[in-house]
Chain A
Amino acid sequence: MTTDQSALPSPAPGNFAGRRARRRAMAVGGFLITLFLTFLGLLAITFFIGRVIPIDPVLAVVGDRATQAQYDAAKIAMGLDRPLYEQFFTYVVNVFSGDLGRSVSTGRAVADDLSRFFPATFEMATLGILIGVALGVPLGVTAAARQGSWLDQAIRVVGLLGYSVPAFWLGLVGLALFYARLRWVGGPGRLDIFYDGLVSPVTGMILIDSLLAGEIDIFWNAVWHIILPASVLGFFSLAYIARMTRSFMLDQLSQEFVTTARVKGVPEQVVIWRHAFNPIRVPLITVIGLSYAGLLEGSVMIETVFSWPGIGNYLTTALLNADMNAVLGSTLVIGAVFIVINKVSDVLYRVLDPRAR
């Protein structure tokens, strides 16, 4: 962790506010530029994957059952007779205007498909990160406060399991145990079959839509279904967050100002939470952001297991059908969300920490 206590003494007051505002404006500008460049890099990579690697990109897009006429039309439409840099430019313009091409398996525009499937993934990953934060942070703090205890050892092992258990496997085992055997949770899908299609999508997130429609039964049924996949995702973020929290906390607890607090006679709980934990809230935001982004990625693996109609499921179906437009579209959307979360948590760090202001 980078707790830089050797911060410089404060500059003289005076023109302080003005300079601070200008510096912040410059920081925001620089942030937008790196964001844009990173996104352009992502586009370059997807372009490379879609147009350069395949021996015949046209075939990859129209599929091998297309007629010769369809093939030729697609070739012209994709601009493959043009030079590469021009193709890339067109590609970037298309993406920024929301055109991701058409999916051969669903026959719809990829952008439409993605906006339809995204809410389900978003809902699950968000619940997952809430579980991860709610459990991971206290566990990490407790582990550090009782360094070396059995609880600390257990949390260490959980942390490493988070790096070693395949998400799809944990989902399957969870289904076998908590659904098939114990009946504690609902099975695959977002709702029981007879509830399907009863609430009209507003946000696309069933937990919210059912509440908006006042359908309490459907809400609880949705909770019953989402709880297992969200917990599986939550486990991975819990493992990561607890591990990082523990390591940050150990760093803090060995600092002199923590001893100062003890010298004052402050109770141990206050020492831990107010003095050791408060300074790490900001770096923890970055960790949570990273973990959240990781969950979006992890959801790709478990959505197939839970028949969850989200982007992950859409992507895996597209992968198996070699539906390149859909694959690259999903990659772009997940990648973009990933980049934004990454960079925003980075910026939050700098805005929220009094030492960096």
Chain B
Amino acid sequence: MTTRDWLLADSPTSRWQANAGRAYRVFTALLRNPLSVLGGVIILVLLLTALFAPWIAPFSPTGQSLADRLLPPSGEHWMGTDELGRDIFSRVVWGSQITLTIVLLVALISAPLGLLIGAISGYFGGWVDKILMGFTDIFLSLPKLILALAFVAALGPGINNAIIAIAITSWPAYARIARAETLTIRNAEYISAVQLAGAGPIRVIVQHILPLCTSSMIIRVTLDMAGVILTAAGLGFIGLGAQPPLPEWGAMISRGRTFILDQWWVATMPGFAIIIVSLGFCFLGDGLRDVLDPKSEGKS
């Protein structure tokens, strides 16, 4: 029996085999869609760049060299140098670590938070549901970016606070999804069976309801990552996110503003990095949605 047969078995013998088989099918379906492959490759490159930044970057991200100020892109400095003579390409490479950290942390904070609130709301129903969803809806009808800005203003500038602020404004969409999914399965026979067997609400939610929300959550989180990257870059641009000399892409664009008319590359280059990575998440998210949720094809 080959691995492939094991993965595609019609009657898996363990939960682990079933999950692996499902993941394999999603993966092969993704491979058939060129744009999602492109998205996956972009994210893979982002991961590798972040991991191997010290070896990839030809110069130090913070090492100044005033003699080499504001050099245009060349064979030596692929993306030129900034006003302190730092190599922009090296800074963009190191910046990938910051972007990846932000994206991961925001996803790790907001998705579980939203999941939990949504699942509780859907599972218990009644006034718990009313209060939690009222709260969620208020958050949803507010402008996310402005809210994040206000939060950072109160918490103080810095990358950690930026992450917290973005996470605080991102969870409501996940809560909505988790609630909708929970409602569809709350009354299923097997949930009642588990309850009859004496499982308490926490056990039912964590072991039986949350796992079923994962596929729609993964789609949504992937699609949202582009927005998270843009918000983080925006905070950096305004000066509230990552602080200098950190090579955060948004902050780098902000430094380049002064020279935009003559030394266009200082502000432009980090922007391309932001666009490519965001597009990568969009492509992958779109592809995932087509595979996992075909009926909503083409909607946003």
Enumerate chain A interface residues (CB-CB to B < 8 A).
1, 37-38, 41-42, 45-46, 49-50, 53-54, 60, 160-161, 163-169, 172-173, 175-176, 179-180, 240, 243-244, 246-247, 250, 293-294, 296-297, 300-301, 304-305, 315-316, 318-320, 322, 324, 327-328, 330-331, 334-335, 338-339, 342-343
Contact = CB atoms under 8 A, between A and B. Distances in A.
B278 A164 contact: yes
**Dominant SS at the A interface?**
helix
B70 interface: no
Contact of B264 (A38, A165, A176, A296): A176
A300 B282 CA distance: 24
A42 B138 CA distance: 7
Task: Identify the interface centre among B150, B151, B234, B274: most chain A CB within 10 Å of its CB.
Answer: B150
Contacts of B264: 173, 176
B147 interface: yes
Contact of A172 (B155, B262, B267): B267
A176 B142 contact: no
B274 A322 contact: no
Contacts of A42: 138, 142
Given A41-B139, A163-B278, A180-B260, 8 more contacts: A50-B154, A161-B275, A169-B271, A175-B261, A247-B299, A305-B257, A338-B142, A339-B141
A316 B237 CA distance: 10
Interface in B10-27: none
B233 A328 contact: no
A168 B300 contact: no
A172 B230 contact: no
Nearest 5 interchain pairs by C-beta: A41-B138, A164-B278, A169-B271, A53-B154, A180-B261
Contact of A331 (B139, B149, B268): B149
Contacts, number: 155
30 contacts: A37-B134, A41-B135, A45-B138, A49-B151, A53-B155, A60-B154, A163-B230, A166-B233, A166-B237, A166-B250, A166-B271, A167-B234, A169-B253, A169-B268, A175-B261, A176-B260, A176-B261, A180-B260, A180-B262, A244-B299, A247-B298, A247-B300, A250-B298, A300-B146, A320-B238, A320-B239, A330-B146, A334-B143, A334-B146, A343-B141
Contact of B146 (A37, A165, A173, A335): A335
B151 A301 contact: no
B227 A163 contact: yes
B147 A331 contact: yes
B226 interface: yes
Interface in B173-225: none
Residue among A42, A169, A320, A328 with the most chain B CB within 10 A? A169
Contacts of A315: 146, 149
B282 to A, nearest CB: 5
Contacts of B274: 164-166, 169
Contacts of B246: none
B226 A164 contact: yes
Contacts of B144: 297
A164 B240 CA distance: 21
B146 A331 contact: yes
Nearest to A54: B154
A50 B153 CA distance: 9
Contacts of A244: 299-300
Contacts of A172: 253, 256-257, 260, 267-268, 271
Contacts of B230: 163-164, 166
Query: Is the interface on chain B under 10, 10 to 19, 20 to 34, or 35 or more residues?
Result: 35 or more
A173 B268 contact: yes
Q: Which of B146, B151, B152, B233 has the most CB of A within 10 A?
A: B146
Nearest to B237: A168
A315 B152 CA distance: 13
A348 B181 CA distance: 29
Given A175-B261, A324-B153, A327-B150, A338 B141 contact: yes
B279 interface: yes
A42 B237 CA distance: 26
Q: Which of A166, A305, A316, A322 has the most CB of B within 10 A?
A: A166
Contacts of A54: 154
Given A49-B154, A164-B230, A247-B298, A169 B146 contact: no
B153 A168 contact: no
Contacts of A343: 141
Interface string B148-166: 0111111100000000000
A294 B299 CA distance: 18
Nearest to A336: B142
A164 B223 CA distance: 11
Contacts of A53: 151, 154-155
B111 interface: no
Contacts of B139: 41, 45
Contacts of B279: 160-161, 164
B288 interface: no
Contacts of B256: 172
Interface in B230-276: 230, 233-234, 237-240, 250, 253, 256-257, 260-262, 264, 267-268, 271, 274-275
Contacts of A160: 279, 282-283, 286
B137 interface: yes
B282 A164 contact: yes
A101 B141 CA distance: 25
B275 A164 contact: yes
